[in-house]
Amino acid sequence: MNNFSSVPRKHDTILLLVTLLLLTAGIAMIYSSSSIMALERYKDGQYFLKRQFFYILLGLVSMMILRKTSYQKLGRYAYVVLAISVICLVLLFVPHVGVRVNNATRWLRLGLFTFQVSELVKVAVVLFLAHYLAKKEVDRQDFTHGFLVPLCVTLFVMA
């Protein structure tokens, strides 16, 4: 088994810098494209900017927590997260649970909090596939276990 603790953390720093650069560009775009609409609708030109800063802070805190978590520990939750994401997709069809925006029901309301289920599903599928393919029993050269099972799980979630 490889010991990844001896690998320099240079790539983590580069990833963090690229993330911060993209966040900065995104903030500038959000503010420049939505300040007038926010002023008209909410009487606050920085309404969307403030919301975006909240979600950025939430994302950065999550990133720092997950950065300290080993991928083996995350893999233990792969099946549970995938099951929860599929349940959330099904809940979109339950009246008054799924939120309809622009004639599409893609958001899920949990109390005061709403989130787009597809974002959870993307993370869940990647986590599942990474865990499944990293297991020693799975021979990636084997068509059934190395290709067909991951494909069927992905297609099931997409359907």
Please report which confidence band the pLDDT of residue 81 belongs to, taking 50, 70 and 90 as the band edges: very high
Three-state DSSP class for residue 8: coil
Q: What pLDDT score does 135 carry?
A: 78
Look up residue 159 and give its two tokens: 């359907």
Tell me the pTM. 0.72
Q: What pLDDT score does 68 carry?
A: 83
What are the pLDDT digits (tens) for 84-113? 999 999 988 888 788 888 888 888 887 777
Contact 98, 87 (CB under 8 A): no
Contact 47, 38 (CB under 8 A): yes
- Judge whether residue 11 has pLDDT over 70: no
- CA 21 to chain centroid: 19
- Judge whether residue 138 has pLDDT over 70: no
Q: What are phi and psi of 140, to 5 degrees?
A: -65, -15
Length of the chain: 159
Calculate helix-pair angle for 78-91, 149-158, nearest 10 degrees. Answer: 30
What are the pLDDT digits (tens) for 16-75? 899 899 999 999 999 999 999 999 999 999 999 999 999 899 988 988 888 888 888 888
Look up residue 78 and give its two tokens: 């792969």
**What average pLDDT does range 132-144 have in this prediction?**
74
Instruction: Give the CA distances from residue 111 to residues 96, 97, 99, 114, in Å, rounded to whole numbers and listed in that order.
Output: 12, 10, 12, 8
List the one residue out of 97, 150, 92, 93 whose CA is nearest residue 118: 92
Residue whose token pair is 């069927």: 152
Q: What pLDDT score does 125 carry?
A: 96
